């Protein structure tokens, strides 16, 4: 068959599928209208269609059954309506691009070749027998991702099916028209990747189901271990694979798993926005998305002003001349280690017999129960009972004392004064209550006494509400003092003094938040979430071993998928050993590991430049572009002028140009210097999204995101001069898809000394 006739035949099939999709859409729209009318009708006439009679037990039981039947009918119609709406969304997407791949498969023992077309969702004929298009997550679709022409096998619930792949094709179809079509081998072909990767960046991540590589497919479909570790270089598609993995899990376990049972910990709110459209594009609901900082603020924000990791990062990057700098870095690293957790456990075991610190219970400005009394009562309880259970027993004892106090306080003089201050609405309610009680009693004096009794009880109950809540929440335990004592026991004196100083100044350090919650959990009982079945952690190299252990404890039933790049480990609390520390928390048979070494985001020229900064073994995808440009200036003023002119030039070719500064302070300073000359937006830790434009962004907020063109601002010796900043500079450079410019004053950073001159061009 000639190329032209084959193309025509394939286009005819696309046209046929689109026509079938349109017919199905019309049918569904009619059904949706009918179902919606049924739901509205059931709601409107709910009580008319229910037999209500409570005269005796039998009639009441019949009434209950009637209500239940009607409610189930309404629920079933609503479920059907939601299912059809979801199908309609799938069909709408199929109209534009019905599929992206095809394999011709001859199953062993069969004589007829099956043409298997693969798209973002399934499309079956009206009888539900023949598949026009298979969902990319279906078992048979695995052949497309894992094999080229030749023998192939895929797993089904009933066992493995083997055969021969005769043909493997890829398509790029837009608005119902085939734009590209080509045969390919085992990997998704360069032509398709070039087409997808050569386009401009988007403010939101695209789904990659049409270009999933074999190694990414294995990550997506792995459902064996309890811990899946993906170590991938910058731009290797690990985040994209993780999101497709969520979609796969929701498809594979659709009868037992829902989106609200999956949580993604992402690096910042900007990243949340960046990935928010991937799952909806695939017809799935978004999983829960949060940051670890948001969780810390949820748990501790009412008690403290919490430092966030970005504030800590600002200090690390800009305060190296501080006389306490090295001491602070040492403190952060220690409090982030599993060793610190082990030392905490050792200290906490001592508290089983002595050492807990309690607070006095205060009522009406006077001590109601002294802390010494609480201490004695706690340690009189059998020490074979856990500390959390003993604290609950103390809480129950104190609540009994409060109930007794309530009765005693009703006769006190202060209560009369409070009663007089009650508003009329409350007085009226109490009066009506007494009237209802006393319909058969006309003794008005007794009625007055009863009202006063109820009002006094109400006043005292209100006063005791706060102390009751405090006791129920175990606030009689002085957690902060316990934590301070623990630090004093574990830390060297100089590190302890610095830690206490920061806490006493009113800012709770980021490095203390997780250890503090750990101690709180060990003493009061951990707040765990057993509902969550899968936890995803992106930019996992930014997490400390302590944080990993804590997250594992938070979600005891969940499987965990962690994705990161040790070469982008830029925080003081993160370590190259974090992944191995996490792995040590699981049994050997529970861990699955993958390594992705090929980078798809950036051009070959950008990767060849960036990988020399860290001397890493990164395999660039064969997409050509211009060599990175290094711009030398004699003064900062000249550098800013050069940046302005270069960005104006870049903006004519690219949608998003990111000027990446080292710190937030530097970003703000640059913004104030150039915003009169450029239409530029300053990104901060509070930014939740962006549009294609010129951005100024601190280095650590750019992690996980990509831009058409990147301008590295002030890569001078004076700015990037510490070995600890090498990975940071590498991370910044690898945000660029098509263009990379590095600006500096007088002398470039020594971190660029390993970069060979063949990989860049210099501009003066």
Binding residues for ATP: 232-239
User: Distance between CA atoms of 112 and 714, rounded to whole angstroms?
Assistant: 65
Cα of 280 vs its chain's centroid, Å:
16
Q: Which of 490, 591, 507 is nearest to 548 (CA)?
A: 591
Measure the CA dihedral 466/470/472/474, to 10°.
180
Q: Give me the residues paired with residue 710 across strands.
A: 658, 740
Task: Name the binding residues.
Answer: 232-239
**CA 507, 511, 513, 515 torsion-angle sign:** negative
Pairing of strands 598-599, 619-620: parallel
Q: Which of 502, 495, 499, 419 is nearest to 454 (CA)?
A: 419
User: Distance between CA atoms of 516 and 482, rounded to whole angstroms?
Assistant: 10
User: Distance between CA atoms of 6 and 511, rounded to whole angstroms?
Assistant: 63
Q: Give me the residues paired with residue 629 across strands.
A: 741, 761
DSSP 3-state assignment of 665? helix
**What Cα–Cα distance (Å) separates residue 709 from each residue in 195, 348, 695?**
18, 52, 10
User: Distance between CA atoms of 700 and 663, rounded to whole angstroms?
Assistant: 8
User: Distance between CA atoms of 266 and 705, rounded to whole angstroms?
Assistant: 12
Contacts with 302 (C-beta within 8 Å, 6 or more apart), sequence order: none
Q: What ranges in 441-600 are assigned the alpha helix state H?
A: 444-472, 479-490, 493-504, 510-524, 545-554, 578-583
Contacts with 129 (C-beta within 8 Å, 6 or more apart), sequence order: none
Structure tokens at 13: 């099939």
């Amino acid at each position: 068959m000639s190329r032209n006739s084959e193309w025509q035949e394939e286009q005819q099939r696309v046209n046929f599928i689109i026509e079938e999709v349109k017919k199905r859409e019309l049918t569904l729209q009619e059904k949706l209208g009918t179902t919606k009318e049924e739901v509205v009708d059931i709601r409107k006439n709910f009580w008319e269609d229910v037999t209500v009679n409570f005269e005796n037990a039998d009639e009441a039981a019949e009434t209950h059954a009637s209500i239940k039947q009607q409610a189930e009918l309404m629920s079933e119609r609503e479920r059907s309506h939601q299912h059809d709406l979801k199908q309609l969304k799938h069909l709408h997407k199929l109209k534009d691009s019905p599929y992206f791949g095809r394999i011709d498969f001859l199953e062993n023992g069969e004589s007829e070749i099956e043409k298997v077309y693969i798209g973002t969702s399934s499309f079956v004929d009206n009888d539900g027998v023949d598949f026009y298009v298979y969902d990319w997550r279906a078992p048979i679709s695995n052949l497309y991702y894992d094999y080229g022409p030749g023998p192939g096998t895929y797993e089904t619930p009933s066992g493995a099916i083997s055969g021969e792949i005769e043909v493997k094709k890829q398509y790029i179809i837009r608005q119902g028209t085939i734009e590209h079509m080509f045969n390919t081998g085992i990997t998704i072909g360069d032509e398709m990747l070039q087409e997808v990767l050569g386009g401009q960046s988007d403010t939101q991540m695209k789904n990659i189901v049409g270009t999933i590589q074999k190694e990414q497919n294995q990550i997506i479909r792995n459902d064996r271990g309890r811990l899946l570790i993906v170590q991938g270089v910058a731009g290797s598609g690990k985040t994209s694979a993780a999101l497709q993995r969520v979609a796969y899990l929701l498809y594979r376990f659709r009868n037992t798993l829902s989106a609200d049972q999956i949580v993604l910990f992402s690096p910042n709110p900007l990243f949340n926005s960046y990935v928010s459209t991937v799952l909806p594009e695939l017809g799935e609901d978004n999983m829960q998305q949060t940051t670890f900082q948001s969780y810390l603020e949820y748990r501790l924000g009412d008690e403290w002003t919490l430092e966030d990791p970005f504030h800590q990062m600002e200090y690390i990057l800009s305060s190296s001349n501080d006389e306490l700098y090295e001491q602070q870095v040492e403190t952060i690293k220690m409090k982030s280690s599993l060793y610190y957790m082990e030392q905490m456990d050792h200290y906490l075991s001592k508290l089983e017999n002595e050492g807990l610190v309690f607070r006095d219970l205060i009522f009406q400005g006077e001590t109601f129960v002294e802390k010494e009394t609480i201490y004695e009562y706690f340690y009189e309880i059998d020490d074979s009972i856990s500390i959390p259970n003993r604290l609950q027993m103390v809480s129950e004892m104190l609540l009994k004392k409060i109930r007794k106090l309530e009765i005693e306080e009703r006769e006190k003089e202060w209560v009369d004064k409070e009663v007089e201050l009650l508003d009329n609405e409350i007085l009226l309610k109490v009066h009506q209550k007494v009237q209802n009680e006393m319909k058969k009693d006309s003794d008005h004096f007794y009625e007055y006494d009863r009202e006063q009794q109820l009002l006094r009880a109400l006043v005292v109950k209100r006063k005791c509400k706060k102390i009751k809540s405090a006791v129920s929440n175990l606030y009689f335990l002085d957690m902060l003092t316990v934590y301070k004592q623990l630090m004093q026991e574990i830390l060297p004196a100089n590190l302890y003094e610095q830690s206490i100083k920061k806490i006493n100044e009113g800012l709770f350090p980021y490095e203390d938040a997780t250890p503090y919650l750990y101690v709180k959990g060990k003493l009061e009982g951990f707040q765990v979430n057993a509902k969550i079945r899968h936890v995803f952690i992106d930019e996992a190299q930014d997490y400390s071993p302590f944080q990993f252990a804590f997250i594992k404890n938070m979600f005891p039933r969940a499987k965990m998928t962690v994705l990161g790049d040790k070469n982008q480990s830029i925080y003081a609390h993160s370590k190259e050993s974090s992944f191995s520390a996490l792995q040590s928390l699981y049994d050997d048979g529970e861990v699955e590991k993958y390594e992705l070494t090929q980078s798809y985001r950036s051009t070959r020229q950008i990767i060849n430049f960036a990988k020399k900064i860290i001397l890493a073994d990164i395999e660039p995808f064969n997409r050509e572009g211009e060599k990175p440009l290094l711009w030398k200036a004699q003064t900062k003023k000249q550098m800013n002028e050069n940046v302005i002119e270069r960005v104006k030039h870049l903006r004519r070719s690219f949608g998003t140009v990111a000027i990446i500064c080292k710190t937030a302070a530097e970003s703000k300073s640059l913004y104030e210097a150039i915003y009169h000359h450029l239409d530029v937006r300053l990104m901060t830790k509070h930014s939740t999204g962006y549009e294609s434009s010129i951005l100024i962004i601190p280095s650590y907020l750019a992690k996980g995101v990509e831009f058409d063109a990147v301008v590295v601002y002030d890569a001078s010796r004076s700015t990037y001069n510490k070995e600890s900043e090498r990975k940071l500079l590498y991370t910044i450079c690898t945000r660029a898809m098509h263009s990379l410019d590095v600006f500096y004053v007088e002398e470039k950073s020594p971190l660029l000394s390993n970069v060979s001159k063949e990989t860049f061009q210099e501009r003066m």
